[in-house]
Structure 1
Amino acid sequence: MEQHERALAAYVDSVRGEPGALGVVLVGSVAQGRERPGSDVDVYLVVDDERFATETGRGRFAWVERRDADYPGSYIDVKLASPSYLTAAIERADDPTRASFLGARVAWSELADLGATVARIATLPDDAWDGRIRSHVAQARLYGAYFLRQATERGDGFLRRHAGVHLALSAARAALAANRILLPGPKYISELMRAASTPAGFLAAWELVLDDPDTASGAELLRVLDAWLGDGLLPDDALSTFIRDNELHWLRGGVPAEYW
């Protein structure tokens, strides 16, 4: 909308020429064409690596600028990035970071390849998606067939709910990966699951685990998930994959699979 483009242009003018400033990347609802009249404008301010180190060294990763300056309720929601940050994001960013660049548009840049760089962040190759499916199915099996069963046997209400939520999360992540859908964050899971293509009975079984996690509901969700995406993942493979991507992912300098 016109007011958002005007606000974006004003912000670009305000940072162009700042020490270390290299570009502004428009992201979020305005970039994707789904903004409302009162939506804020989300941007990445790209700066050189020296300024990025200085800003983040004092804890400044994101901030708000131009509050109420351009239209009622307006503000620019700024996140900081640098060339090294963007290069690292291509290789190992989590889903919320990758998803934040979906539909991104370069508003101003001193870097000739900035548009191509941000497009690569939001794109994963097929083998990466396939690896995610395998990992998330393994997560689902352990939470659904092991931890959920233990919770029931022990009468442990916390573990039952914990295992149920993680089973549902893992199954959802596997389903979204099969659909090549990035996950911006937990608040979007239900919406994305209802829009994704899944086999008959999958969504109903998934919702039942959320409502009433127990051995029966967990087994049914695993049955549908395994029939769809579990081919070739043997029990020992699932256990090793779970340990590698959950308990020991720190050895590879990363985070557990649920945070990918």
Structure 2
Amino acid sequence: MEQHERALGAYVDSVREQPGALAVVAIGSVAQGRERSDSDVDVYFVVDDERFAAETAAGRFAWIERYGVDYPGSYIDIKLASPSYLETAAQQADDPTRASFRDARVAWSVLPGIEQTLERIVTLPDDVWDERVRSHLSQARLYGGYFLRQAVERDDEFLRRHAGLHLTLAAARAALAAAHVMMPGPKYISKLVRSVPTPGGFVEAWERALADPDVESGEALLGILFEWLGGGLTPEETLSIFIRDNELAWLRGTVPAEFW
């Protein structure tokens, strides 16, 4: 909308002469063309690595500017980035970071090749998606087939809810990975799992396991999930993958699979 473009332009004009300023990248609803009349404008402010180091050393990673200046309720929601940040994101960022760059639009830049770098951030090779499916299947099998059963046997309500939530998260992540869809954040899971192609009965089984996780609902969801995506993945393999991607994440320099 016109007021958002005006606000974005005003923000660019306010920062383009700042020391170390390299680019402003519009993201979120404005970049994707789904903004409301009162939406804020989300941007990455890209600065050189020297300024990025100084700003982040002072604890400044994100902030808000121009609150209420450009139209009622308006503000610019700013996240800081640098060339090294963008390059590292292209190599190893988690899904929420990668997804934040989906349909990003360069509003202003003096940084060569930024468009290509942004494209690399939101693009994963097929083999990476395939391995993600295997990992999320392994999460689902351990939480739904082991921890959930233990919770019921021990009458442990916390473990039951914990296992049920992690089972349904992993099942949803497997479905998203099969469709090559990134997870912007947990608040989008319920919508996204209904938006990607899944076999008949999957969403209903997912909803039952989410609402009332127990042995029966867990097995029902796992049955559909592994018939669809399991591809011969054995229990022994899933155990090793689960340990690799959770208990040994510290050793591999990664984070647990649910945070990818």
What is the TM-score when the length of structure 1 is the normalising length?
Answer: 0.99
How do 1:86-165 residues align onto structure 2 when only pairs under 5 Å count?
A: 86-165=86-165
Matches of 1:120 and 1:34 in 2, distance apart? 23
The 3-state SS of whatever aligns with 1:135 is: helix
The 3-state SS of whatever aligns with 1:198 is: coil
Partner of 2:227: 227
Partner of 1:64: 64
Letter in 2 for 1:56: T
Matches of 2:149 and 2:95 in 1, distance apart? 30
Provide Cα deviations, 1:89-112, integer angstroms capped at 9, x if missing partner: 011100100000000000111112
Letter in 1 for 2:218: G
Partner of 1:245: 245
Partner of 1:216: 216
> Runs ≥4 in structure 1, deviation > 6 angstroms?
none
Matches of 2:80 and 2:242 in 1, distance apart? 33
Provide Cα deviations, 1:145-173, integer angstroms capped at 9, x if missing partner: 00000000000000000000000000000
How do 1:19-30 residues align onto structure 2 when only pairs under 5 Å count?
A: 19-30=19-30
Shift of 1:115: 1.1
Matches of 2:232 and 2:17 in 1, distance apart? 56
Letter in 2 for 1:162: H
Shift of 1:232: 2.3
Shift of 1:212: 0.4
Letter in 2 for 1:55: E
Letter in 2 for 1:176: L
Provide Cα deviations, 1:113-145, integer angstroms capped at 9, x if missing partner: 111111210111111100100000000000000
Provide Cα deviations, 1:210-250, integer angstroms capped at 9, x if missing partner: 11000000000000000011112111110000000011111
Identical residues among aligned pairs (%): 70
Shift of 1:194: 1.1
Provide Cα deviations, 1:181-221, integer angstroms capped at 9, x if missing partner: 11110110011111111001110100000110000000000
Matches of 2:135 and 2:7 in 1, distance apart? 42
Matches of 1:39 and 1:21 in 2, distance apart? 25
Letter in 2 for 1:153: E
Partner of 2:166: 166
Matches of 1:232 and 1:220 in 2, distance apart? 18
1:184 aligns with 2:184: yes
Q: Which structure 2 residue ranges, 5 or more long, are not aligned?
A: none
